[in-house]
Amino acid sequence: MTDETAIITRQEQLLSQQQAQLQQVGQYVMQLGATVAQLTAELKAIKRQQAAVTLTHAQTLEVQRRARAKAAALCERYRLAGSQAVNQMKAAILKDVLRAQGVKNLHDIPAASLEDIKRQVDGFTGFEASRSIKEKAAKGSKDRPQSPRPAPAGAEPSQGDHHEQTDTAAGVAGPQGH
C-alpha cells in the first residue's frame, strides 16, 4: 500500500500545483481584462479629442474650392450651363458631404476626416443632382416670359440671339428640351 499511498500523495501534490497555477492564470486574466478596459477608455478619449479637432478655416475653403471645381466639371459633363448650375451642383456636393459626416456645417467635420472628404468630393457623380438642376431650369424657363431681351440701342439683333438666350436662361446648353 505504500506504493498506492505514494501515488495518491503525488497526485494530490500535482492537483494542488495545478490549482495554484489556475489561480495564478485567473489573476493574470483579470489583470489583462483591467488593462484592456483601461486601454479601451484611453482610445475612446483619444478619439473624442481627435473628433474635437475640426477642420480649420483654410481646410474648409479647400473643400469648398474642390467642390466648386468638381461641380464645374460635372456641369460640363452633363451639359449644364451657367454659374447658377455650378452653384447648385456645388451645393449638392457639399450637402452630400455634410450628410455623410452627420454634421450641419463644414467647420464641424473632424480634421481627421479631411482625406475621406476629398475622396468623397472627387467621387461625387452628380447624376441625380444634374437631373434636379435640369428640372428646376426647365420649370424656371416655363415660369418666365419667353420674349427676347431688347437689343442695345443702335444694335441690330441677329436671328440666333433669341434661341441662344432662351437656352442659357434655362440653364441648359445645347438644343432646348434636353
DSSP secondary structure, the chain, as one string: -HHHHHHHHHHHHHHHHHHHHHHHHHHHHHHHHHHHHHHHHHHHHHHHHHHHSB--HHHHHHHHHHHHHHHHHHHHHTTB-SHHHHHHHHHHHHHHHHHHHT-SSGGGSBGGGHHHHHHHHHH---HHHHHHHHHHHHHHHHHS--PPPPPPTTPPPPTTHHHHHHHHHHTB-SSTT-
Question: 36 lies in a domain?
Answer: no
Question: 88 lies in a domain?
Answer: yes
Q: CA 97 → CA 22, 24, 60, 136, distances in Å? A: 54, 53, 12, 22
pLDDT digits (tens, 9 = 90+) for 47-97: 888 767 899 999 999 999 999 999 999 999 999 988 999 999 999 999 999
List the one residue out of 172, 173, 177, 169 whose CA is nearest residue 145: 169
Give the residue-averaged pLDDT of 136-148: 67
Q: What is the pTM of this model?
A: 0.54
pLDDT score at 52: 74
pLDDT greater than 60 at residue 133: yes
pLDDT score at 144: 57
Average pLDDT of the residues of the chain: 82
Question: 158 lies in a domain?
Answer: no
Question: 47 lies in a domain?
Answer: no
pLDDT greater than 60 at residue 158: no
pLDDT digits (tens, 9 = 90+) for 22-41: 999 999 999 999 999 999 99
pLDDT greater than 80 at residue 136: yes
Total count of domains within the chain? 1
Kindly give, in sequence order, each residue whose CB lies less than 8 Å from that of residue 63, ignoring residues fewer than 6 positions away.
Answer: 55, 94, 97, 106, 114, 117, 118, 121
Question: 108 lies in a domain?
Answer: yes
Question: 104 lies in a domain?
Answer: yes
Domain range for 138 is 57-142
